[in-house]
Amino acid sequence: MNVEKARFNMVEQQIRPWEVLDQDVQDLLYAVRREEFVPPAYRALAFADVEIPLEEGSSAGAAMLAPKIEARALQALQVKKSDKVLEIGSGSGYMAALLALHAERVWSVEIVPELAAVARANLLRQNIARVSVEIGDAALGWPAHAPYDVIMVSGSLPLLPKAMLAQLKVGGRLFAIVGEAPVMTAQLHTRTGEDSYRSENLFETDAPPLVNAPHPDRFVF
């Protein structure tokens, strides 16, 4: 595989047609070597328009989001050099790497210790600084370093917890894929005041659920 040609095709044939026209985002996709964050067994799919599995066995479920989803999230979040960022779901460390190149600091939280170790190793090998990978359950957010300028949820949520939104600074942005299969919506939430938020539906998609994500109450007869 011609890696650089495949990377170019990913940007030109997947990312641009999905209305990701922000040059800073496109530059990030060239700067961070996605193939170095993909499990060896799936390296040939590093630039394909698919989710890439990260786990095997009974706990399988985590996956890298498709490149166009990652790019749309980055474009929506508009990360700045002064931003403090929380990523929920480290996975392979790829999204943390993308965020870190534009942010002041990224805290990436992963509930699966084995995946956290992989993410740390990948980030170290690619000399990505300003990222701390922590192990824990961040399905309701991660108050340890709150408030945040940006929260990126790298997995889907049946509903968006209020506790997570409350960890944004005023002016902060949160990207999450909300809903249950087969209908989920990528959303951008912006905290506009101490008790006010603005929500925007970006596009419909599907993504693996975040471990321990809260579910809406079910009405039972």
CATH 3.40.50.150 fits 3-205, yes or no: yes
Per-residue pLDDT tens over the stretch 22-35: 999 999 999 999 99
Identify any residues that bridge with 132 across adjacent strands, giving them in sequence order: 107
| Nearest partner of 49 among 85, 82, 12, 76, judged by Cα | 12
Query: What pLDDT score was predicted for residue 218?
Result: 60
Q: Percentage of the chain surpassing pLDDT 90?
A: 89
Q: Whole-angstrom Cα distance, residue 131 to residue 152?
A: 14
Q: Whole-angstrom Cα distance, residue 56 to residue 37?
A: 16
What does the mean pLDDT of the chain come to?
94
Q: Where are the chain's structural domains?
A: 3-205
Query: What pLDDT score was predicted for residue 145?
Result: 98
Q: Whole-angstrom Cα distance, residue 200 to residue 173?
A: 11
40 pLDDT above the threshold of 50: yes
What distance, in Å, lies between the first and last C-alpha atoms of the chain?
A: 57
58 pLDDT above the threshold of 50: no
59 pLDDT above the threshold of 60: no
Query: What pLDDT score was predicted for residue 62?
Result: 86
Peptide bond into 17 cis (omega under 30): no
Per-residue pLDDT tens over the stretch 106-143: 999 999 999 999 999 999 999 999 999 999 999 999 99
Per-residue pLDDT tens over the stretch 169-193: 999 999 999 999 888 999 999 999 9
Which residues fall within 8 angstroms of residue 120, CB to CB, at 6 or more apart? Answer: 93, 133
